[in-house]
Structure 1
Amino acid sequence: MSDRDRVREFYGQWAHIYDRLASAPGVRSWRRRAAAALDLSPGDTVVEMGCGTGANVPFLREQVGPDGLIVGIDVTRPLLDRARARTTGRGWTNAHFCTGDATQPPVSGPVDAVLGTFVLGLFRDPAAVVEDWVDLCRPGGRVAVLNFQRSDRPLAAPINLAFAAFLWAGSPGWRVPDEPVTAAFERRVDAGRTALATRTDDRRYETFGGGYLGLLSGRV
């Protein structure tokens, strides 16, 4: 079974639970910060890679307005079904979703921004993936990636263990034999962040959520 098929099967099976977690009150504040990092303007076009159930769409739409365009891409149809229901229920006609792989997005540029939240760790070659996202943007556009990470704060060890368990359960596509699950995840996230930092200017990096979240963005 391919990485894509594993991810599709896992998130398709747990779509209802994932949707509740993705739109929980605290998580919404994280998503709003990720959307804000794109510096979008009314009328802009933004592509979200691995959009899941569309939990980021309300915050993206706050910035692009009714005349902008939001394109969500995900490999898991049950997640996309929920994303479509979320936007249709609000009467939003400028958010469109398509089944596709974020490593080979079925869209053409240039676009104004690309967003990826909690997806870098799923890719075998995240650096190449991020470089493709940068290439999709127009000059002056922004790319932002939001990811979980271990915290180095005091007394964080017990939570770091829980974090490793969460990664093991929630990222079935990238487990590497004889490599700790957290190390594999962090290696991939670091590779994606490095690629983004190398290809962009006006870079911004912030941590929040007790140090367990890192948000990096850069201008093409």
Structure 2
Amino acid sequence: MPDDVGATQSFYGRWARFYDWLATAPGVGSWRERAADALGLDSGDTVVEMGCGTGANFSYLRDRVGPDGRVVGVDLTRGMLRRASERIDRAGWRNVHLARADARRPPVDGPVDAVLATFVVGMFADPRPAVERWIDMLVPGGRIALLNAGRSDRRVAAPLNLGFRAFVRAAAPGDGRESPSESLERRVATARDAVYSNCPAHGFEEFGLGYLGLAWGVRGD
């Protein structure tokens, strides 16, 4: 998986339009609903999305915090943020804001009520410091949710795993020491362990034939 900042910006900048289409494809919205629900947001809350991309999650987050809450999207790539800004303008949201920055070191003053990251932690060579930093941003009782993809171990999904590996390889070539899908799964597992280690209350659920995993945690008092 890519961890070089320049390579990440170049790749996602080139594919921003396709990524936006994929991120809003039929059926994907239900995944985003589940991730937003895991945050337990209330009206007036502040939620930060790390690696917000084109803003495909914004409508789900904004619906839950309402007009008195605040949504902040952090992303590194200009192309992604350009499309996110267009989405905000079309919807007329005045309480959804963008910050161009590395999600591993977000320029956001805490505390905040929730942090969301979807399909992001697999891009970090070591996601643990980033996840721990995100948890430190939370108010006591604040929630974090990480939505990620991985190969499925369900028998019915076995024929699809080859396609999943090909997709991961195309999106993020490996470094030769391990396959891209193995690298992705190792990093996602590291991020999930960081949530479990730092949040007394936590959980995990699988869906989408086992290809999607949603880890969540609640910061202690």
TM-score range, shorter chain: over 0.9
- Whether 1:171 and 2:172 are equivalent positions in the alignment is yes
For 2:187, the aligned partner's letter is R
What's the CA shift for 1:98? 1.2
For 1:37 and 1:116, how far apart are their aligned partners in 2? 12
Per the alignment, residue 70 of structure 2 pairs with 69
Which moves more between the two structures, 177-186 or 126-135? 177-186
Structure-2 residue corresponding to 1:149: 150
Question: Does the 8 A contact of 1:7 with 1:171 survive in 2?
Answer: no
For residues 107-133 of structure 1, what are the alpha-carbon distances to aligned partners after superposition, in whole Å with 9 as ceiling and x for unaligned? 111000000000111001111110011
1:55-204 alignment runs, 5 A limit: 55-172=56-173, 175-204=174-203
Paired residue secondary structure (1:156): helix
- 1:103 positional shift: 0.8
Moved more, 113-122 or 151-160: 151-160
What is the count of residue pairs matched by the alignment? 218
Distance in 2, Cα, partners of 1:171 & 1:93: 34
Is contact 1:48–1:114 with CA below 8 Å preserved after alignment? yes
Partners in 2 of 1:42 and 1:201 — Cα distance?
24
Match of 1:46 in 2: 47
Which ranges in structure 1 are unaligned for 5 or more consecutive residues? none
* C-alpha distance in 1 between matches for 2:3 and 2:154: 36
**Contact 2:121–2:127, Cα closer than 8 Å, also in 1:** yes
Give the Cα–Cα distance (whole angstroms) in 1 for the partners of residues 57 and 154 of structure 2: 28
List per-residue Cα deviations over 1:153-200 (Å, max 9, x = no partner).
11423211111111112235xx23231111111111100000011100
Q: Distance in 1 between matches of 2:189 and 2:200?
A: 18
Cα separation, 1, equivalents of 2:29 and 2:182: 27
Question: When the two structures are superposed, what TM-score results if normalisation uses the length of structure 1?
Answer: 0.96
Displacement of 1:11: 0.8
Question: What CA distance in whole angstroms lies between the structure 1 residues aligned with 2:33 and 2:5?
Answer: 27
Deviations 1:31-89 (A, max 9, x none): 11101100000000000000000000000011100010000000111111111111111
Alpha-carbon contact 1:176-1:184 (below 8 Å) kept: no
Identity value in percent: 54
**Equivalent residue of 1:214, what SS?**
strand
Structure 1 distance, partners of 2:69, 2:83, is: 21
Correspondence for 2:16: 15
Q: 2:51 and 2:191 mapped to 1: Cα distance?
A: 15
Instruction: Name the CA distance, whole Å, in 1 between partners of 2:3 and 2:216.
Output: 29
> Matched residue of 1:166: which SS?
helix
8 Å contact from structure 2 (residues 3, 124) kept in 1: no
Q: CA RMSD in A?
A: 1.3
